[in-house]
Amino acid sequence: MIRPYSIHFILREAWRGLTRARLSSMAAIGIIAFTLVLLGMVGYIFTILDNLFTEVSHQFEIVVYLQDGLKEGEKALLQERLSKIEGVKEVIYVSKEEAWKRFKESFKGNKLALDIVGKNPLPDSFEVKLVDPLKSSKMAEIFKDLPGVKDVDFPLEAVNKFSRFIRWIEYAGGVITLVFIVVALFVIANVIRLSFVSRLRELEIMRLVGASNLFIKGPFILEGVICGFFGGIAGTIVLTILLYFLNTYIISSFPLFSIDISIYSLRTSFILIIFGMMVGGIGSVLFLERHAKG
Amino acid sequence: MIEFKDVTKYYDNGVLALEDVSFRIEKGEFVFIVGPTGMGKSTLLKLIYREETPTKGDVIVGGMNVARLKPHQVAFLRRRLGIVFQDFKLLPNRTVYENVAFALEVIGLNKREIRTRVGRVLDVVGLLHKSNCYPAELSGGEQQRTSIARALVNNPPILIADEPTGNLDITTSWEIMDFLKRINTRGTTIIMATHNREIVDTMRQRVIALYKGRVVKDEPNGSYE
């Protein structure tokens, strides 16, 4: 049904609408660009936090204390059983001598403390690292019931606090982005409104001579989509530059974090531009549905 | 061609515009709808091109029950109607040519087809030499002829004219009437609302008179009174 002449007409009218009210079109492009930059930044922060979490959670471990007097064979069997439990990443044996050595190391210079403790009171233990540190308490329950285990210990508070912190930041980022998407939709709808009002006469004639909806609404929707496209391009450029500097800074300041910086790949840019175009299109449809029935 | 069956129209604010209006208009007729301002003339025309729908009764245009058309079908009804208004409704920032071409552009015709058809219709209304003028550079009569050209460019079988001479002086009005008569002779059905007594009395065409929303007279070769 759509003929090349129709496409030409719709494109021309959409472009006319865009260039007639330049200031408001620029505002729309700006707000879409800003929203996309925000979206990209939030995505970037999520990625960093994710990396940070993995990094930090490597240090979380469950310490499984063994009963005294287990034979070497029993210990080996227990280690074997532990490492076969699903969700366990690594099991390291720490003998009581090793533990005592570490203890003395950390209290070096505190003669009093060492004197009070006297001779080695520490049991043999396993340090168990989990795939998902958030499951610590559940896993600890399982370990506790294994034969030969005296007690388990894990940094519950730390794990929980840390994951709560990360989740909170992610929620906040999500909400802020959502708010700006809504704002962008309204700004787009307003641009389309201006364009609509300036074309009232033409629209009246179009209806009277029997123009189809494609011709009446098409240019407005396209106008929104074009705003979104330019907003997407602008946003992607700003975001790429911003992330480049941010990334350089972070890598030079925290060399220990090996952060995956693939967030500003070509694919992401592409997705952001498409997303901008969708916001533009939906913004104009929202306006047309409310004000341009029939 | 056009049939009204017991059509009653109330507006949303409760105002009665038409009451029990029935008539038939055959292909090729020239019909005046007369009556004082505010007696339902424009409403009657709007029911034909479906700017309004009847509260009761049926309006049939070219075999289509207008009230039952779905929104996307309205466009196709209107492509079969040419509509002319008192205020011309021309686009001020487009030339005569562009104004007429606009009606074809928005229904998706290609450039070559548009050029042929617009050229032909501008020749018919005698405005070929003013193709590149803007409406502001034209006289009232020329503006109305441009709007008639726009109404005719799609070759509609029916031309609806709502007070087409209302803004024109008497000489120019006659020029337009001669012109409409010529179009009618070529087979186009014309329905024209007017309160210009002299024109109606001189033309001697069918007259449907409305008073307070009712048809008070419907006679061939009629006069205003």
> Which tokens is A124 given?
């043999």
Coil/strand/helix, residue B7: strand
| Mean residue pLDDT across chain A | 82
Burial per residue of A131-162, b for 16 or more beta-carbon CB atoms within 10 angstroms, e otherwise? eebeebeebbeebeeeebbeebebbeeebeeb
* pLDDT at position A261: 55
Going by pLDDT thresholds of 50, 70 and 90, the confidence category of residue A294 is: very low
In degrees and rounded to multiples of 5, residue A92 shows phi and psi of -115, 130
Q: Which amino acid is at A167?
A: R
- Section A143-154 average pLDDT: 82
A63: left (phi > 0), else alpha (psi -120 to 50), else beta? beta
In degrees and rounded to multiples of 5, residue A28 shows phi and psi of -65, -45
Nearest CA in chain A to B150: A209
User: Distance between CA A242 and CA A246 in Å, rounded?
Assistant: 6
Among A103-112, A240-249, B37-46, B81-90, the minimum mean pLDDT is found in A103-112
Nearest residue, CB atoms, A212 vs list B72, B89, B103: B72
Chain B from 38 to 57: CB within 8 A of any A CB: 49
Is residue A23's pLDDT more than 80? yes
Among A142-151, A200-209, A266-275, B120-129, the minimum mean pLDDT is found in A142-151
* pLDDT at position B23: 95
Distance of CA B97 to the CA centre of its chain: 20
* pLDDT at position B85: 93
Q: Rounded to a whole number, what is the distance in Å from the CA of A13 to chain B's nearest CA?
A: 11
> Which tokens is A1 given?
């049904």
Nearest residue, CB atoms, A205 vs list B75, B89, B111: B89
Percent pLDDT > 90 in chain A is: 20
> How confident is the model over A35-58, as pLDDT tens digits?
899 888 888 888 777 777 777 766
- Section A265-286 average pLDDT: 90
* pLDDT at position A69: 78
B-chain CB neighbours of A12 within 8 Å are none
User: Distance between CA B188 and CA B181 in Å, rounded?
Assistant: 9
User: Distance between CA B122 and CA B131 in Å, rounded?
Assistant: 8
Is residue A149's pLDDT more than 50? yes
* pLDDT at position B40: 87
Helix (H) or strand (E) holding A184: helix A156-198
Positive/negative CA dihedral, A68, A69, A74, A76: positive
Size of interface A-B (CB pairs under 8 A): 62
Going by pLDDT thresholds of 50, 70 and 90, the confidence category of residue B83 is: very high
Nearest CA in chain B to A216: B106
* pLDDT at position A145: 82
Q: Where are the beta strands (DSSP E) in chain B?
A: 2-10, 16-25, 30-34, 56-61, 64-65, 81-85, 158-162, 189-194, 206-211, 214-219
Nearest to B61 by CA among B152, B161, B159, B154: B159
Burial of A111 (0-12, 13-18, 19+ CB in 10 A): exposed
Among A71-80, A194-203, B117-126, the minimum mean pLDDT is found in A71-80
> How confident is the model over B143-194, as pLDDT tens digits?
999 999 999 999 999 999 999 999 899 999 999 999 999 999 999 999 999 9
- Asked if B94 reaches chain A (Cβ–Cβ under 8 Å), the answer is no
- Section A77-90 average pLDDT: 82
User: Distance between CA A126 and CA A150 in Å, rounded?
Assistant: 11
* pLDDT at position A56: 74
Instruction: Give the global pTM.
Output: 0.75
> How confident is the model over A166-187, as pLDDT tens digits?
888 888 888 988 998 998 898 8
Q: Which amino acid is at A230?
A: F
* pLDDT at position A267: 82
User: Distance between CA A167 and CA A163 in Å, rounded?
Assistant: 6
* pLDDT at position A260: 55
